Each structure stands twice: as C-alpha cells, then as structure tokens.
Amino acid sequence: MSQKIVVKELMGERCSQRLSPNGFRDGRFLRDVILYELQRNDSLEVDLNGIVVMTPSFADEAFGKLLYDYSSDQLTKQLKFIIGTAEPHIVNRINSAVSNRSAIIEAEKQKKQGNHFSKESVTS
Amino acid sequence: MAVRLSGRLGLGLNCDTEQTLDLLERISGLKEGKRINLSFQDIDFFYPSFLVSFMIACDKATKEKQCTVSITDWPEEPEVRCYLRDSGFCQLASLPEPPQVENIEHDKENILPIEHLEMVGPTFGADLVALLERRIDLSTGVNRQLEECIEELRANIIQHSQTKWSGVALGQDYPASGRVRFSIGDAGIGIKTHLCEQHSQYRELSTTDVLRKSLEQGVSGTDLETNSGQGLYELQQFVELNGGELVILSEDGFLLLEGRQVKEKRLLKWKFQGTIVCLTFEADYGSKYYLRSELEQNGIIPTNTEAGDQ
C-alpha cells in the first residue's frame, strides 16, 4: 500500500525550523508524520512541489534523523520524493542532510565501540 | 544613576560604538534592584544594532535582577522619536509612545520591525531579503540561500539560547545612504561558552578568536547537529563579497569586519550576557550576485568576478 504526504500542505512553502517552541510546522513534526505513515504503508511519496526554502537544520531534523529508525536501504526502497516545482537546491539539501547524518551515526557507533573520530573526519 | 546620551548610537563603523558599549556595560553591571535613568534628548540617530542590544541588556537587567531602566527624556528630533515608535521598539519594550509623533508618518515599508524571534512569521527571512533586493541585485538562488541563512540563524537562537525568550531582530533600509542594516540578538550564554560546551579545544582561545572561528564553515555548538555552522558562515561570505559590515558582540568579545578586513577585534573588560550580530549591506548597483552552481549550470566559470566558496 502506498501513501502520499504533500509537504507544502503540512508545512507551508518555507521549511525553516528544526524545532519550534510549539512543535508546529517544524522538522520534527514532519519526521513524526513520515514515521507514522511508514509504519502503516509499504511505501510513501513525499511531495515537495512548491517548497521554496528548506534550511539545513530542517532537512536534517525531518529527513536525516529518519536514519535512527530506518536504514539507508530501507529508506531508498520505501521513500520516494516528488520534486515537481520545488526549488532545485532542495534536493541537494535533503541529500546532504541524509549523508551527513549517516556519518554522524557511524561516528556515534564507533565511539560506543571505543574508536574515536574527530569531527573533521566525519563531516564533508 | 543618570546617563545622558548623544550622537548616533549603534555598533559598527559610522556609529558611536564606544558610547553604546559603555551604556551596555552600565546596564549589564547594574546591581540587584538598582535604577538607571537615561536621557535620549541629544540623540541624533538610533541604529538597529543599538535597539536590539539595548533591548536585550534591559530585558536581562529588569527580569533577572529587578532593575529599573527608565527614559527620562525623549530625543528632541521628531524623526528620531518617530523611529522609536515605528521600529516597534516602544511597543516591545512596553514603553509609552513618544510625545508629539501623532502627525508624523515614517516610511514603514523600510522597516522590518523589532520582534521576538518566536513571534515572527514564516516569511521573516524573505522579508529581510526583500529589503535587501531594493539595493542589491540577487539571483533566485542567492535570494533563497540568504533567506535560509537568516532562518537558520533564527532557528539556532530559538533552539540554543537557553533563555525563557529567545531573541529579537530588527531590519532597516536606508534609502538615502543606500544601506540595509539588520541586527539579531539573544540573551543566551554567548558563543564561546556555547562552543566550549561541546569542543574543549576552544577553551584555550580568547573570546575574539572564538568569534572569528564561529564565522568558519561547519563550526557549531554541538557535534550532534549536522549542517549547523552554516548560517553565520554563508552570511559572512555574502557580506565579504558585498563589502558590507559584520559586527559580533558576545560575552567579552567584540569583532568588527568590513568586507574581508578585520577592523576591530577587542576583548572587553566586562561581559555582555548574550550575542548580537549586526550586518550592514552596501548598495551594490551594477553588480549581480549569483551562486556558483547557477553560473556553472549556464556554462559560466567565474574567473574575473570576485567569488566566495558558493
């Protein structure tokens, strides 16, 4: 079964806050919605039509941190993005967020196992 | 304590920075329950950097130490009084409207009023960039990126300032001088303290060196937040290209950059509890700003034009 989230309907065309004081229209809220839908559906379409602004913080909170619940392979399989009329740099934002968060998670794992990475070695 | 102020109050070049810092020091140093009376009678001009830093210092003194900051005399110039009203300063500071401004209309389109950062709408960054675009020709990509930088700054202040209310911001277009000024500040723990919480290597550096570092790409107060440390860096890149001005006041560090040059780097003998970032953008008629990626998409490799990383 497949479902669709239209980001502009949930967040407006400007996605800026990682965490807002009232928890409304922030990155965490969108991530919660994505996680909720992924639990109930085999696949999920994330429609980015009309999004004009997405800060790095928002992209990390909404998409990067999905990696704490799903592996990269699972997300590639289950999550599809519809770019449409979204500003071109939005795709790069999301890709960078996921890539950097993946590196952070790897560094956290290494730290727990007793191997230490410097910040410079894990961020691109 | 009574203090009489004069001149053009603000932080940066062309401002009476010394008087402003002196006043902030006095307010920050007020003992519990004490009072300071301020005369604004001889003031010619308030820059956004003054109103933002003054608001934060007063809020801290009044709310945490139950001090009283009162204005005994308003500026003599009606235009200056009018600005205090139209910038939103009087309303936010719970002050009465200055006298005899009822019939004076300021050009409110030039002002992005001072406001608490949690209260501003979703187009806050876009509104500031719109002020900028009156003076500077920006491509769509630069427009969006600047908006995202401003929003990133705002988001970081709201998330990390560690105070009950996060911060304030004020923007202003000055058509006569062809400049746009923007100030944003918070009453948090300060940049050095914040960075040192996560990165022990900063503890050995002076506050001004840490402020300089904070403008570098990827420097952020936490290991666990990716893509942080981009807002200030990208804004500084743009200001550098534009030949504008960047001022940071945080704890006991004061840094002033004009374009690429460090004009002033000073360790203060007192601490401002919080951080103020002030940006001045110069009217840059005849130039257009593009992202590298936008040029490259059209087969243009920047060679003779000045270029930052992006």
Q: Of B125, B199, B227, which is closest to A16 when you measure between CB atoms?
A: B125
pLDDT the model gives residue A67 = 95
DSSP string, chain B: -EEEEEEEE-SSTTS-HHHHHHHHHHHHTPPTT-EEEEEEEEEEEE-HHHHHHHHHHHHHHHHHH--EEEEEE--SSHHHHHHHHHTTHHHHTTPPPPTT-TT----GGGEEEEEETTTS-TTHHHHHHHHHTTTSEE-HHHHHHHHHHHHHHHHHHHHH--SSS-EEEEEEEETTTTEEEEEEEE-SS-HHHHHHHH-GGGGGS-HHHHHHHHTSTT--S-TT-TT-S-HHHHHHHHHHHHT-EEEEEEEEEEEEEETTEEEEEEEEEEEEEEEEEEEEEE--TT-EE--HHHHHHTT---SSS-----
- What token pair was written down for B173? 């277009």
Tell me, yes or no, if B205 comes closer than 8 A to chain A by beta carbon.
no
What pLDDT does A124 receive? Answer: 42
**Which of A21, A25, A104 shows the shortest C-beta gap to B224?**
A104
- Which regions of chain B are under pLDDT 70? 106, 160-165, 217-230, 302-310
Q: How far apart are CA B163 and CA B170, in angstroms?
A: 19
Confidence at residue A16, expressed as pLDDT on a 0 to 100 scale: 87
Which of B201, B226, B295 is the best residue to mutate to test the A interface, defined by the most A CB atoms within 10 Å of its own CB? B226
A96 touches chain B (CB under 8 A): yes
Report the pLDDT value the prediction gives residue A121, as an integer from 0 to 100: 43
pLDDT per position in chain A (124 positions), as tens?
679 999 999 999 999 888 876 767 889 999 999 999 999 998 999 999 999 999 888 999 999 999 999 999 999 999 999 999 988 889 888 998 898 888 888 888 887 777 555 554 444 4
- Phi and psi (nearest 5°) for B273? -85, 85
Residue A86: DSSP 8-state:
S
Query: Using the beta-carbon criterion (under 8 Å), do A60 and B227 form an inter-chain contact?
Result: yes
B225/A54 Cβ within 8 A: no
Residue of B nearest to A13 (CA): B122
Distance from CA of A89 to the nearest CA of B (A): 8
Contact A21 B118 (CB under 8 A): yes
CB-CB under 8 Å, A14 with B125: yes
Across the interface, which of A21, A53, A54 has its CB nearest the CB of B158? Answer: A21
| A10 interfaces chain B, CB cutoff of 8 Å | no
Q: Which residues of B touch A57 (CB under 8 A)?
A: 152, 155-156, 225, 227-228
